[in-house]
């Protein structure tokens, strides 16, 4: 082979290999979803309550955010990332999901998705009356504003393409039980049996999903309730710090609600053509962590890392509250919210389910 032909052949092989490597890289880094959109309460609020809201439910102070890259509190009720951030990173969308109310959101932040959730909110509007949070029912209004901004950036057609293919995550309901039904007598007088209140909440959820669907949401993940009776604050309220046992009655309430939710979701999907709705089981992994802590590397599951771990949350978990030295060994960071380690385990499970769900 002549020198010229050898050089030409070598260039051909090099170019082919480079193109193949480039294609492989693009295949691994291409986002699974063009954007991520988040609705719900403090379990997924990445900082909306930081901004003009008359609420005490804020995580703008240390030790919240202590394990984030900049070690600063930014509104997330944990020591680090939340499920929205974990999933967004897994799907190569972005590392952190910004709150929609954050001033000066960049075009890129808008295009790849934001969070509309508000700590202290619930499906029941009366839940937010006591917390002054943004009710779940009001979050679609923020979504509409988001859509207008998105359309101004990429145009109407591209905007709807992004929304239709975005991953939509909804996580709420715990506050309706903990801050409302179990605490305030009004709803218990209206619904003497909790099953009736469950039905009321699920009807609200049904309407909420329908509203998101009308705005273009198609790939929707809906979280069930955690084992509410295992939340440190609930154990404290019942046992006054003397004993630390999960409240089986409240856990059973969560189980019954989740069973109803799982039966409802296929019906909602069937009534919304082109939608895909996935139930996210939060109860099972957290309950398993409570029962088998060493399996997950936890040494403490019955109190939060912050302060005494029995009552501290929001403003009660602050710079003056001593925190545990090994955050990753605690299932809960404060008396209500999981640690980043817990969220990572749940995120891994959700990731597997979501990938199978989208591929189906």
Residue 5: predicted pLDDT: 43
From residue 196, alpha-carbon distances to 18, 150, 209, 256 in Å are 62, 40, 20, 11
The CA–CA distances, whole Å, from 285 to 187, 249, 253, 292 equal 30, 19, 17, 10
> For residue 132, what pLDDT band results from cuts at 50, 70 and 90?
very high
pLDDT at position 10: 40
3-class state of residue 45 by DSSP: coil
Average pLDDT, the chain: 91
Q: Are 301 and 332 spatial neighbours (Cβ–Cβ below 8 Å)?
A: yes
Q: Read off the pLDDT band of 15 (50, 70, 90).
A: very low
Average pLDDT over residues 81-110: 98
pLDDT at 242: 65
Give the separation between CA 186 and CA 191, rounded to whole angstroms: 9
Residue 194 tokens read as: 């909790």
Q: Which residues contact 115 (CB under 8 A, 6 or more apart)?
A: 37, 38, 44, 45, 46, 47, 48, 84, 97, 98, 99, 100
DSSP state, residue 39:
E
Q: Which two tokens stand for residue 330?
A: 């605690």
Q: Are 216 and 163 in contact (CB under 8 A)?
A: yes
pLDDT at 195 over 50: yes
Please give the helix or strand (H or E) that residue 300 lies within, else none. strand 300-304
Query: Which range among 44-58, 139-153, 198-212 shows the weakest confidence by mean pLDDT?
Result: 44-58
- With a pLDDT cut of 90, the percent of the chain lying above it is 83
Is residue 116 over pLDDT 60? yes
Please answer whether residues 230 and 287 qualify as being in contact, where contact means their C-beta atoms are separated by less than 8 angstroms.
Answer: yes
Please give the positions annotated as active site. Answer: 42, 334, 337
Give yes or no for residue 7 having a pLDDT over 80: no
**Residue 240: pLDDT band with limits 50, 70, 90:** low
Please say if the pLDDT value at position 241 is more than 60. no
- Structural domains of the chain, with CATH: 32-282 (3.40.50)
Distance CA 226, CA 169 (A): 16
Q: pLDDT digit string (tens) for 250-283?
A: 999 999 999 999 999 999 999 999 999 999 999 9
CA dist., res. 198 & res. 176, Å (int): 10
Helix, strand, or coil (residue 301): strand
**Does 3 score more than 70 pLDDT?**
no
């Amino acid at each position: 082979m002549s020198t010229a032909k050898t050089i030409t052949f070598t260039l051909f092989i090099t170019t082919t290999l480079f193109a193949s490597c480039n294609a492989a890289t693009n295949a691994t880094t291409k986002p699974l979803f063009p954007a991520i959109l988040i609705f719900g309460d403090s379990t997924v609020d990445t900082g909306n309550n930081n901004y003009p809201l008359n609420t005490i439910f804020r995580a703008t102070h240390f030790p919240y955010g202590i394990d984030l890259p900049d070690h600063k509190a930014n509104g997330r009720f944990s020591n680090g990332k939340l499920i929205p951030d974990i999933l967004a990173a897994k799907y190569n969308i972005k590392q952190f999901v910004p709150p929609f109310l954050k001033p000066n959101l960049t075009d890129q932040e808008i295009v790849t998705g934001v969070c509309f959730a508000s700590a202290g909110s619930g499906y029941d509007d009366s839940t937010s009356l006591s917390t002054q949070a943004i009710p779940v029912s009001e979050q679609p209004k923020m979504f509409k504003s988001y859509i207008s901004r998105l359309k101004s950036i990429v145009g109407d057609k591209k905007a709807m393409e992004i929304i239709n293919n975005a991953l939509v995550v909804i996580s709420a309901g715990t506050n309706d039980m903990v801050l409302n039904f179990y605490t305030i007598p009004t709803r218990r007088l209206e619904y003497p049996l909790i099953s009736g209140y469950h039905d009321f909440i699920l009807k609200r959820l049904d309407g909420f999903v329908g509203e998101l669907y009308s705005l273009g949401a198609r790939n929707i993940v809906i979280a069930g309730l955690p084992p509410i009776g295992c939340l440190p604050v609930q154990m404290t309220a019942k046992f006054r710090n003397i004993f630390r046992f999960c409240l089986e009655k409240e856990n059973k309430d969560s189980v019954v609600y989740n069973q109803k939710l799982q039966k409802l979701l296929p019906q909602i999907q069937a009534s919304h053509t082109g939608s895909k709705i996935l139930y996210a089981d939060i109860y099972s992994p957290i309950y398993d962590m409570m029962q088998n802590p060493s399996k997950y590397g936890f040494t403490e599951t019955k109190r939060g890392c912050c302060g005494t771990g029995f009552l501290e949350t929001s403003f009660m978990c602050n710079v003056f509250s001593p925190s545990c030295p090994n955050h990753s060994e605690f299932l809960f960071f404060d008396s209500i919210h999981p640690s980043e380690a817990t969220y990572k385990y749940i995120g891994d499970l959700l990731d597997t389910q979501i990938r199978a769900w989208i591929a189906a």
